[in-house]
């Protein structure tokens, strides 16, 4: 599974546009829309057997009111780890969009009038708008609010990986991941500190956190490949149980 390593540098530029303000008057063109659709077809899924699709609609066709121009609706069939798969695909698309100076926001609670498309179920949306100046993106990623490396990585850190993957975006900034590094193995868990859920409704925490884990796994893969580290991955089924630690993947470092 060889990812587009050119997107690694975009990690440092990306930020979530919680409100699309003061971004200029540039607009996403019809050509941009077609390019996004074509790029999506080239993305590498976490689970190749799961069918997915996207639909790009004007902002007023969703409940997202953040000043965006369009929303990308992500659809999927519902199978084991389909939420992680959507997160994995969506974050690839996210970084591509940023590389094109298109601002993004994962908008978890948004609704659409089209709960199904091409036989697939609506999962989540990404709000997007054109940004007229690269300087309006992230200037210093390391100043953004994230858990410390010690909170999300147990065991020996991996230089250029442990300190980067913690900047993966997540719903309501919950950052629900934990890596345990022992010998040549990286055990990746969906982690939920008992009694804490942030501002999300209790019945939605697991749903969005599984998407977040897919985003995190993409960051981990991209960082490992950027460092030319060879590895194998074993995925585990996450049934969404409300437990403190749920194993999602085991990475075996080969070199």
106 lies in the same domain as 172? no
Q: Please determine, for residue 196, whether its predicted confidence score (pLDDT) is greater than 90.
A: no
Residues 6+ apart with CB under 8 A from 32: 100, 102, 130
28 lies in the same domain as 98? yes
Contact (CB, 8 A) for 53 and 123:
no
124 lies in the same domain as 191? no
The pLDDT value given to residue 55: 98
The pLDDT value given to residue 199: 62
Torsion sign (Cα): 234, 93, 204, 181: positive
246 lies in the same domain as 225? yes
Q: Number of H helices and number of E strands within the chain?
A: 5, 10
Residue 138 confidence class, pLDDT cut points 50, 70, 90: very high
39 lies in the same domain as 20? yes
Contact (CB, 8 A) for 39 and 93:
yes
Q: Please determine, for residue 197, whether its predicted confidence score (pLDDT) is greater than 60.
A: no
Contact (CB, 8 A) for 238 and 249:
no
Query: Nearest-CA neighbor of 92 among 23, 42, 35?
Result: 42
129 lies in the same domain as 192? no
Distance, CA of 101 to CA of 131 (rounded, Å) = 6
Torsion sign (Cα): 220, 138, 74, 239: positive
Question: In the listed set 93, 109, 136, which residue is the last one of a domain according to the structure?
Answer: 136
Overall pTM surpassing 0.85 (yes/no): yes
76 lies in the same domain as 102? yes
117 lies in the same domain as 157? no
Q: Specify the number of domains making up the chain.
A: 2
Residue 250: alpha-carbon gap to chain centroid: 19
Query: Minimum mean pLDDT among 65-69, 99-103, 141-145, 199-203: which range?
Result: 199-203
Instruction: Find the CATH number of the domain harbouring 181.
Output: 3.40.109.30
Question: In the listed set 107, 136, 165, which residue is the last one of a domain according to the structure?
Answer: 136
Q: Please determine, for residue 32, whether its predicted confidence score (pLDDT) is greater than 70.
A: yes
The pLDDT value given to residue 38: 98
Element at 253 (helix H, strand E): strand 245-253
132 lies in the same domain as 149? no
* Arithmetic mean of pLDDT, 187-199: 78
Distance, CA of 219 to CA of 187 (rounded, Å) = 15
Question: In the listed set 82, 115, 136, which residue is the last one of a domain according to the structure?
Answer: 136
Average pLDDT, the chain: 94
Query: Minimum mean pLDDT among 43-52, 192-201, 245-254: which range?
Result: 192-201
74 lies in the same domain as 41? yes
Element at 185 (helix H, strand E): strand 185-191
91 lies in the same domain as 208? no
Q: Please determine, for residue 24, whether its predicted confidence score (pLDDT) is greater than 90.
A: yes
26 lies in the same domain as 127? yes
Residues in a beta bridge with 107 = 125
The boundaries of the domain holding residue 199 are 145-253
Q: Please determine, for residue 147, whether its predicted confidence score (pLDDT) is greater than 60.
A: yes
Instruction: Find the CATH number of the domain harbouring 88.
Output: 3.40.109.10
Residues 6+ apart with CB under 8 A from 129: 17, 20, 23, 28, 67, 68, 69, 70, 102, 103
What count of Cα atoms within 13 Å lies in the side-chain half-sphere of residue 202?
A: 5
Q: Please determine, for residue 130, whether its predicted confidence score (pLDDT) is greater than 90.
A: yes
Q: Please determine, for residue 105, whether its predicted confidence score (pLDDT) is greater than 70.
A: yes
Residue 209 confidence class, pLDDT cut points 50, 70, 90: very high
Q: Which residues of 196-226 are buried (b: 16+ CB within 10 A; e: fewer)?
A: ebeebeeeebbbbbbbbbbbbbbbbbbbbbb
Residues in a beta bridge with 163 = none
Q: Please determine, for residue 195, whether its predicted confidence score (pLDDT) is greater than 70.
A: no
More confident residue, 57 or 204: 57
């Amino acid at each position: 599974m060889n990812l587009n390593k050119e997107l690694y540098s975009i990690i440092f530029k990306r930020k979530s546009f919680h409100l699309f303000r003061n971004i200029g008057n540039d607009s996403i063109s019809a050509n941009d829309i077609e390019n996004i659709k074509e790029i999506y077809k080239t993305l590498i899924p976490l689970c190749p057997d799961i069918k997915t699709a996207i639909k790009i609609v004007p902002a007023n066709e969703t409940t997202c009111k953040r000043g965006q121009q369009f929303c990308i609706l992500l659809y999927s069939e519902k199978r084991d780890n389909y939420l992680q798969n959507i997160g994995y695909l969506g974050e690839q698309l996210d970084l591509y969009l940023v590389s094109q100076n298109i601002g993004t926001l994962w908008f978890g609670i948004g609704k659409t009038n089209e709960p199904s498309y091409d036989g697939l179920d609506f999962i989540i949306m990404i709000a997007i708008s054109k940004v007229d100046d690269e300087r309006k993106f992230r200037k210093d990623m390391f100043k953004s609010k994230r858990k410390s490396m010690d909170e999300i990585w147990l065991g020996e850190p991996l230089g250029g990986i442990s300190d980067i993957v913690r900047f993966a975006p997540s719903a309501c900034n919950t950052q629900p991941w934990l890596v345990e590094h022992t010998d040549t193995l990286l055990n990746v868990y969906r982690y939920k500190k008992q009694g804490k859920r942030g501002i999300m409704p209790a019945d939605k925490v697991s749903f969005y956190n599984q998407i977040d884990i897919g985003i995190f796994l993409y960051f981990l893969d991209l960082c490992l490949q950027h460092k030319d580290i060879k590895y194998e991955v074993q995925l585990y089924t996450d049934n969404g149980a409300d437990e403190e630690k749920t194993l999602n993947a085991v990475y075996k470092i080969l070199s």
